[in-house]
Amino acid sequence: MRLYVYCLAEGVDRLHQTLRGVSDAEVRIVELEEDLSALVSVYRSDDFQISRKNALAHHEVVRSITEQTTPLPTRFGTVVTIEQLRNYVSTHHHAIKAKLAHVRGGVEMNVRMIQSIAAADTSREPEDAGGPGTAFLLEKRREILRDEAGAAQKGQLSAWLREKLGDFIKEEKISITPSETVILARADHLISRADVQEYRTKMAKAVEERPEIRFMVSGPWPPYSFANIELEFSSQFGVS
Amino acid sequence: MSDFDQIIVGEEWENTDLSLLETLDHVLNRGLVIAGEITIAVADIDLIFVGLNVMVTSVETANEVLRKRQATE
C-alpha cells in the first residue's frame, strides 16, 4: 500500500471531520515515533492527477492542522510506502525534531520584489558584436555581470530587510533571479504567528522607503520554505 | 516595466487568483522532500514546468489585479 504524504507534525490528535485530501481521499493520522505523526491518504495511482484541485487539496490538509501545531509540509506529490515513511523518519529523527522545534509557533511570510535594472546596465552592447565567438564571449560577460549584480542586490536587500524587520525574523532565505531588464527577488521569512500583523505593518512602512522596487507580500503560510531537511544538509556540507 | 505594485496578500485573499497562484507556488516548489518510492516520478519534470508557469502567471495576474484596482480608484 502506498501513502500520499501531506506533512509531518507533532501533537496531532484530531482532524476536521469533513477534511478530504487529494482525489477526495480520506485523510488519516499515521503515528510514527514518540509524538511524531504524518498526515496521509491511501494513494491510488489510477485516481491521482497532477491538477490544481489536488494541489489545493494538499494545502488545505496542511493548513487544517495549523491551529493545533506547526507542521513540516511535504512537497506536492510525495508518495511512499509505510515502510519507507517509517524508515525516513527513523533515519532523520533528530533532524526532523530539530526542524519542528525551529518552526514551532511560526509561519512563513514571503516578499517578492521586482526592480528595474538601471539604464547603465552592462547588458547593453553594440548591435554588431562581430563573429559568433565574440557574440558568445559577450553573452558570457553579460551573464557574469548579471550574476554579480544579482549577488550584490541580494546582499543589499537582505541587509535592508534585516534592518526593517530584524526583530521578527527567525530565519530568512533570499533568492535573486536577474534578467535582462529586471531583478526578481524573493525573501522568505519565518516569523512567530503572533507577529504577523506587526510584520505587515513594518513591511508596509518599509515599502514606502523604496519606491524604485515593486513589492508583493504574502502570508501567513505554513512553513513550506523552511521544511526541507535535505537543503539544510546541503548548506552545511556543500553537497546535495 | 509594468505597474506591478505593492500587494499585501493574506488569508482574506483566499479566493483571489493571486492567492491561488501563490498557494500553488508553495505546494509545488517548496516543502519537505522525502525520498520515497515515487515522489510522483512522472511529475518531476512536469512540476518544474508547472512551477515556472505559476511564477510567470502569478506576476501577470498580479499586474492584472493592480490594473483593475487602479481603474476603480
pLDDT on residue A95: 93
* DSSP run (H or E) holding A183: strand A182-192
| Structure-model confidence comparison of residues A200 and A129, the more confident one | A200
- Which residues does chain B have within 8 Å of residue A221's beta carbon, measured at their own beta carbons? 26
State whether A74 and A176 are in the same domain: no
Question: How far, in Å, CA of A169 to CA of A105, rounded?
Answer: 13
pLDDT on residue A238: 46
- Given pLDDT bands bounded at 50, 70 and 90, which one contains residue A36? very high
Q: Other CB atoms closer than 10 Å to residue A113's CB: what's the count?
A: 23
Whether chain A has a CB inside 8 Å of the CB on B48: the answer is no
State whether A82 and A112 are in the same domain: no
- Given pLDDT bands bounded at 50, 70 and 90, which one contains residue A23? very high
State whether A171 and A232 are in the same domain: yes
pLDDT on residue A9: 97
Among A75, A103, A131, where does a domain finish? A103
**The complex's ipTM?**
0.79
Picking from A8, A81, A219, the nearest residue to B32 by CB comes out as A8
A89-125 pLDDT, tens digit per residue, is 999 999 999 999 999 999 999 988 877 766 334 445 5
For B3-72, give the DSSP string.
----EEE-GGGTTSHHHHHHHHHHHHH-SB----S-SSTTHHHHHHHHHHHHHHHHHHHHHHHHHHHHHH
Is the model's pLDDT at B2 over the cut of 50?
Answer: no
pLDDT on residue B64: 58
Average pLDDT along chain A = 84
pLDDT, mean of residues B1-26: 56
Among A103, A137, A165, where does a domain finish? A103
Q: Other CB atoms closer than 10 Å to residue B43's CB: what's the count?
A: 18
- Which residues does chain B have within 8 Å of residue A7's beta carbon, measured at their own beta carbons? 32
| Structure-model confidence comparison of residues A180 and A72, the more confident one | A72
State whether A188 and A221 are in the same domain: yes
State whether A139 and A166 are in the same domain: yes
Instruction: State the pTM of this model.
Output: 0.76
pLDDT, mean of residues A183-201: 90
Cross-chain residue pair B6–A217, CB shorter than 8 Å: yes
**Peptide bond just before A73 cis, omega within 30 deg:** no
Question: How far, in Å, CA of A22 to CA of A30, rounded?
Answer: 17
Portion of chain A with pLDDT greater than 90, in percent: 42
At residue A43, what are phi and psi to the nearest 5 degrees?
Answer: -90, 125
Structural domains counted in chain A = 2
* DSSP run (H or E) holding A145: helix A132-165
Cross-chain residue pair A80–B43, CB shorter than 8 Å: no
State whether A88 and A112 are in the same domain: no
Domain at A149, CATH number: 3.30.70.260
CB A93 within 8 A of CB A182: no
Question: How far, in Å, CA of A165 to CA of A115, rounded?
Answer: 20
State whether A65 and A135 are in the same domain: no
Among A48, A73, A103, where does a domain finish? A103
pLDDT, mean of residues A5-31: 94
State whether A7 and A57 are in the same domain: yes
Q: Name the residue of chain A whose CA is nearest to B25's CA.
A: A55
State whether A92 and A150 are in the same domain: no
Longest pairwise C-alpha distance within chain A = 69
The DSSP call for residue A179 is -
pLDDT on residue A63: 94
State whether A224 and A157 are in the same domain: yes
Average pLDDT along chain B = 55
Q: Which residue segment(s) compose the domain that A51 sits in?
A: 2-103
State whether A228 and A110 are in the same domain: yes
